[in-house]
Amino acid sequence: MARGEVPMRRIENPVHLQVSFCKRRARLLKKAKELSVLRDADIGIIIFSTHGKLYELATNGFPFFVLLLLPFCSPDGGGRGRKEMVPAMFIFGDSLIDNGNNNNLASLAKANYVPYGIDFADGPTGRFSNGYTVVDEIANLLGLPLIPAHSETSGAKELLHGVNYASAAAGILDITGRNFMARIPFNQQIKNFESTLNQITGNLSADTVARSIGDSIFFIGMGSNDYLNNYLMPNYNTRSQYNPNQFSDLLIQHYSRQLTSLYNLGARKFVLSGVGSLGCIPSILAQNMLSQCSQEIDQSLVHPFNSKMKLMVDRLNQNLPAAKFTYIDSYHIFMDIINNPGTYGFNVTDSGCCGVGRNNGQLTCLPYETPCSNRDQYVFWDAFHPTAKVNVLMAKKAFSGGGGGGDVAHPINIEQLAKLKLIQFNNSLLD
């Protein structure tokens, strides 16, 4: 062995392992591209991560038939293994479902560093989680690939299964989240979707696009930041202008107009995620030095907003022809986990797996911080966001849980919505 040469051995630390994999994978693919250009070589590279995620590179001269075989070579037995239930999913929201749209913004709300993504095949992508977000699992259940971030889409091919426009710190109101500097509010996310529509329409006929968009799922998760990073912030004057009831009315008025804008752009199948518990997150527990959830915050802020949101869904279903809106009661789904942690295999409900200070909630997860090793036993990943295990549980309940006014979905669940065939005929919906 040459002097100074480091012996090759497996990296045991999971954070270091993920960092090394991402860096070395990127360098390998870059060098392969350079070799192809410099030496006019035909190159094909196939890499599977430890989670079964496929990475590939093929130059123009590489045999195309080999790429066609890739889905059958996957360690998981051949791709997603599900039939696509809808053409695409378009996602709007905040950090709970952002998958990288803030990465290149001058924003304080970012998660594109380890240990975020420690259990995700691509490592730190901008997801505020150790692994999957709720919409990642919903995409999987719908038979779709993971939906790309709007900031990462450059061609029509990347848009075919949908786009994620969600942005950390974003809210229903444009002023929400300004403490974090740059972010993409819901209004701008809608404008970004309109730009996507124009791009798709440039490659396909308008009629084809309209049919595809009308049968796609539109997932919207908004509202949390309008409270956490607006109403509850001491440097905002919102509380002096509105009492909780007035503020929830204001949010619903804006929200209804924004959803109608999406409807006017062709959206027909809407999934609206209610606001989850704010009183249980480690950040609130740490600020108020509480040992249990703040009932006051949830009862005075979350419950009124969610109740009005559910009524809004009923009004929109009645007033907008050939559309179907469904409300996901994220609060009750989440509180069932908090109140019955042992049923789901959780031991820690009041502290983040990664973070600083009381409840690991005074500061969020810092770069290269070592998180807890038993992540599947934690409800919270950091000061604000659930672990991937919770996200997957919530997605599965929202997807196939009982509709009809129950504690999960109203009036139908996501699976039922995906199967619904919406036809406008005499202003009625036919299934």
C-alpha atoms less than 13 angstroms from C-alpha of 324 in its C-beta half-sphere? 26
In the annotation, is 95 catalytic? Answer: yes
In the annotation, is 303 catalytic? Answer: no
Q: How far apart are CA 135 and CA 44, in angstroms?
A: 31
Phi, psi of 385 (to 5 degrees): -115, 145
Crossing angle of helices 244-264/186-201, nearest 10°?
A: 10
Q: How far apart are CA 304 and CA 277, in angstroms?
A: 12
Measured from the Cβ of residue 413, the count of other Cβ atoms closer than 10 Å reads 22
What are the Cα distances from residue 103, in Å, to 126, 127, 184, 212, 363? 6, 10, 12, 29, 19
Take residue 104 and report the two structure tokens written for it: 């290149």
Q: How far apart are CA 412 and CA 414, in angstroms?
A: 7
Nearest to 379 by CA among 398, 359, 397: 359
Among residues 36, 95, 294, 351, the one annotated as catalytic is 95
In the annotation, is 382 catalytic? Answer: yes
Nearest to 354 by CA among 336, 367, 337: 367
Take residue 318 and report the two structure tokens written for it: 């009645």
Measured from the Cβ of residue 311, the count of other Cβ atoms closer than 10 Å reads 12
Among residues 122, 283, 382, 410, the one annotated as catalytic is 382
Q: How far apart are CA 88 and CA 104, in angstroms?
A: 25
Among residues 161, 254, 385, 410, the one annotated as catalytic is 385
| Residues noted as catalytic | 95, 382, 385
